[in-house]
Amino acid sequence: MVGLSNDLPMASPPLTHPISIPAKQKSQIRELRQLIQSGETKLVGPDGRQVAIPPPVHDLLLVILNSLNAGKAISIVPEHRQLTTQSAANILGVSRVFLVALLENGEMPFHRVGTHRRVYPRHLLDYKRRRDAARHAAIDNMAKAEMEAGTYDKVVLPEGAEVSKDNKSG
């Protein structure tokens, strides 16, 4: 069972800015994750009332705790929330100018609010999945080509280049 504290507000605003856990709380996150992984979990209120955590919430908590335990920051954004181009660019790790070019080239849907472009999180995350899959496929193809050429584990120097005495092994 997991206890709820009175310290938390009952109706908090959506968590839209990334949070991470300080190193000193890492053991608590690990312990909480182990409790939730062990099976059906209940929340216990300050009055002792117990409520079972429904499976979808249980699964979401595990995803959150696994990410926090791995040192990743977490943001929870309602699906209908509109992201600014700067927020969307930050999530992708690209410049706002690059993101605007992606939008204008039709790489992902967007709409305008007045003169400002807005992106829904689901469209942004769909694009990110496609981009990441294409990157992984490209890396796999390069590794396969290097294996077939017999150069995967060899250093190939440009023509005319020499290895300095300091870098020779043996």
Whether 1 shows a pLDDT value over 90: the answer reads no
The answer to whether residue 56 is domain-embedded is yes
User: In the predicted model, what is the mean pLDDT of the chain?
Assistant: 84
Neighbouring CB atoms inside 10 A of 83's CB total 21
If asked whether residues 145 and 101 sit together in one domain, one would say yes
If asked whether residues 20 and 63 sit together in one domain, one would say yes
Tracing tokens 């769909």 back to the chain, one arrives at: 126
If asked whether residues 22 and 63 sit together in one domain, one would say yes
Residue-wise pLDDT for 98-150, tens only, equals: 999 999 999 999 999 999 999 999 999 999 999 999 999 999 999 999 888 88
Whether 14 shows a pLDDT value over 70: the answer reads no
The answer to whether residue 158 is domain-embedded is no
Q: How many domains does the chain have?
A: 2
- % residues pLDDT > 90 (the chain): 47
Domain residue limits at 125: 83-149
Beta bridge partners, 43, equal 2, 51
Give the pLDDT mean for 40-64.
Answer: 91
If asked whether residues 53 and 87 sit together in one domain, one would say no
If asked whether residues 143 and 106 sit together in one domain, one would say yes
The answer to whether residue 3 is domain-embedded is no
* Model-wide pTM > 0.85: no
